[in-house]
Amino acid sequence: MQNTGERRIRRRSSVSLAFILSMLVIMLLILFRHHSMDEIQELLMSLKAKWLLAAVGCVLLSYLCEMACFYVITRKIHGKASWRTSFRVTMAGVYFNSVTPFACGGEPFQVSYLMDDGIPMGSCANIIMVKSTIFQASVFLFSVFSYVFNVDALYRLVERFDLFFIAGISVNIIVILFYGLFLVNKTAAKKTVNLVFKLLGKCHIIKEPEKYGKKKEEEIEHFARASRMIFNDAGAITVAFVFQFVNLLLGYVVPYFLLVSLEGKYDAFFDMVTSQAILRQITAYIPSPGGAGGTEGISYFFFMNFFTKTPVVSVILIWRLLTYYFNIVFSGVYLMVIRERNFKSEIKQIRSGKAA
């Protein structure tokens, strides 16, 4: 029998998935309203398979870069790490961050997978916090780089570019400062650990978290020690940043491959990548699950001057199918298979115990 916490989590996930699917339906309705079936069929037939496969390959490689980033951080903080656990943590983040508002649902499940690998909860919380900080800082630095080296083209290609850039950069700086505070301030660290205990309790990963008073103090010390370790190793931080930068680049390249596949334009690589860096910074803070609705609307302004022969709505639909809906399906199936395998393993252990 499901408890109240589990039912609440499932209900919220169901609402989020319903919203996500409704956004997909709305995009399809807009597409069919402005274009006939023959036009859509012609569009799909015009896609060059090798460039479409290249786009899918970028998405899959981005998972590996995310996994490697987690592996480097975990190995530095905990002393050892598992590639398998790092991939599971990656998939948990991909799935639950895609189906929850503000992409904030993955952390408790990522902590759970790390704890299953024998890592103290305070260190787990620190790993997730460090990874989030590196991600936000990478998005910020990539967008600043794009602005500095391609500002003229961006103003020409993206309407109201200055408004988008200022809004995105301002929110990003606030988020980075927020994460930094929690990593270097022990009082903030205590609040982080308390929050993690509360989230784990709500998700019923641990029971009665209020009873873990002494354990909390130990985990706070783990958190603080992990912060000192990671920030005293410039090499580990640099390697993690490299993997995160490559991860972002792979995502930013996907619409370029669509541009080549649909319109045969090869000379817009730098402009497309830098415009995607700005777009990513803005859409990261749209409150709906996966930024659904807002991302599609804002991306129209970023794509309209690149795709001049192809209906922009159809481009956005294909782009979101590759970079968002594919993420949900791939990571969801993976986590479901892992859960089923673990369940069968537990049943087998129980039966073998009874037989003994």
Backbone angles phi, psi at 215, to 5 degrees: -60, -35
Q: What is the pLDDT of residues 280-305, one digit of tens each?
A: 888 877 766 656 667 878 888 889 88
Residue 135 has pLDDT above 80, yes or no: yes
> Which is higher by pLDDT, 147 or 1?
147
Residue 274 has pLDDT above 90, yes or no: yes
Residue 210 has pLDDT above 60, yes or no: no
| 65: number of Cβ within 10 Å | 20
Name the packing angle between helices 234-263 and 49-78 (round to 10°). Answer: 170
Residue 218 has pLDDT above 50, yes or no: yes
H or E element that contains 113:
helix 107-116
pLDDT, residue 91, reads: 93
Q: Which domain holds residue 64?
A: 1-354
Q: Which of 8-22, 128-142, 180-194 is predicted most confidently?
A: 128-142
Residue 8 has pLDDT above 60, yes or no: no
| 334: number of Cβ within 10 Å | 18
pLDDT (average), residues 238-242? 94
Q: What is the pLDDT of residues 57-104, one digit of tens each?
A: 999 999 999 999 999 999 988 888 999 999 999 999 998 888 776 666
Q: Tell me whether residue 64 is exposed, middle or buried, using C-beta atoms within 10 angstroms of its C-beta: 0 to 12, 13 to 18, 19 or more.
A: middle
pLDDT (average), residues 3-27? 58
* Contact call for residues 181 and 175 (beta carbons, < 8 A): no
pLDDT-derived band at 5, boundaries 50, 70, 90: very low
> Which is higher by pLDDT, 116 or 184?
116
Residue 29 has pLDDT above 80, yes or no: no
pLDDT, residue 312, reads: 86
> Which is higher by pLDDT, 94 or 234?
94
pLDDT (average), residues 42-63? 88
65 Cβ contact partners less than 8 Å away, ≥ 6 residues apart: 243, 244, 246, 247, 250
> Which is higher by pLDDT, 109 or 137?
137
Pairwise CA distance, residues 59 & 326, whole Å: 9
3-class SS at 306? coil
Residue 6 has pLDDT above 50, yes or no: no
Residue 54 has pLDDT above 90, yes or no: yes
* CA nearest to 280, candidates 294, 270, 268, 265: 294
Q: What is the pTM of this model?
A: 0.79
Q: What is the pLDDT of residues 314-333, one digit of tens each?
A: 888 889 888 888 888 888 88
Longest dimension (CA), the chain: 74
User: Helices (H), strands (E): how many in the chain?
Assistant: 14, 0
User: What's the mean per-residue pLDDT of the chain?
Assistant: 78
Number of domains in the chain: 1
Pairwise CA distance, residues 248 & 276, whole Å: 10
pLDDT (average), residues 44-54? 86
Q: What is the pLDDT of residues 156-205, one digit of tens each?
A: 888 778 888 888 888 888 877 777 766 666 566 666 666 666 666 665 55
Report percent pLDDT > 70 for the chain: 66
